[in-house]
Structure 1
Amino acid sequence: SLGQGQEPVAEKALERMQVSGGWVMLQNIELVARWLPKLEKKLEVLIEGAHPDFRVFLSSLPQKVVPVQILQNSIKLTNEPPSGLRANMLRAYASFNESVWEGCGKQSELKAIVFSLCFFH
C-alpha cells in the first residue's frame, strides 16, 4: 500500500519485476498524487523491453489525481458495493460455494455465524 515514503520501494519492485516477469500491485495510488507523473514516465520506460509476463496493477479511490495517460493505457475495472442491506447480504452469501455449506458438519450453526458476520460487517 502506497503512502508517505513508499515511492522508492515501489520503483524498485517495478524494476525487479520488469526483468523477471512478475506482477506488481500498487495500492492506493491516490495517496501519492505528486509522484504519479514520475510513475507515468517510469512505466513508459519499463514497458520497453519488459518481460512478456510483466504486469502492473494499480488501485485507487475514484479521484481525479491519476494522470490521463495512465488511465488511457490501462484496462480499467470498477468495484462498487451494492447499495442496501439486502443487496450486501446476497453478495456476501454468493461468495460462498455450495461445498462450503455441504462440507460442514454443523450447517445450521455455520449459517447463523455467517449471517451474523455479514449483517454486522
Structure 2
Amino acid sequence: MFQNCHLLLSFIRRLEKQLEKITKPHPDFRLWLTTDPVNTFPIGILQRSLKVVTEPPNGLKLNLRNTYFKMHPQTLDCCQHTAFKPLVYVLAFFHAVVQERRKYDKIGWNICYDFNESDFNVCVTILSTYLTKALKAKDARLPWNSLKYLIGEVRL
C-alpha cells in the first residue's frame, strides 16, 4: 500500500513503467494506492485501476468525529501526561477546521494549507514524545515553544 501518492508523482511514474513490464502477475497480487485528486496523476495507472472515492465529511462536527474515528484506540493511552488528551483534542479540532475550510479554497485561507491525516498523526506523536519526556523529567512546564515550532513545521 502506497499512501499520499499525489505527493511523489515522479515515483508513481516510475512505478507505472515497472507495472507495464509485468506480463504475468501473481493471481493474488494487489496494489493499493491512495491519493488526493491532482490533474497530473499518471493516466495509465488510473485507467487500469479500480477506483474508490471517499467524500470528506461535511461540517466541523463531522470532521472532528471523523478525525477521532480514524485514530487507533491505543493512541490516547500512549502518554500518561495529564495535558496529552486535551492537547490531542485541540489538535483534532485544528485538523477539522483546516479540513472544513479547505473546501472554500482561496476564500477560506490566503494560501492552501494541506494538513491531512498523516500530518495529524505525526503531530500526535510529537505531542506524545515531548509530554512523555516532560513527565519522566518531572518537569511541570510544558515545552510550548518546541511544540509550537515542531507542529508548525509539519505542514504549515
Please give the range of the TM-score, normalised by the shorter of the 2 chains: 0.3 to 0.5
Q: Which has the higher strand share?
A: 1
TM-score (normalizing by structure 2)? 0.39
TM-score (normalizing by structure 1)? 0.46
Task: Choose between structure 1 and 2 for higher RCO, CA contacts under 8 A separated by at least 6 residues.
Answer: 1
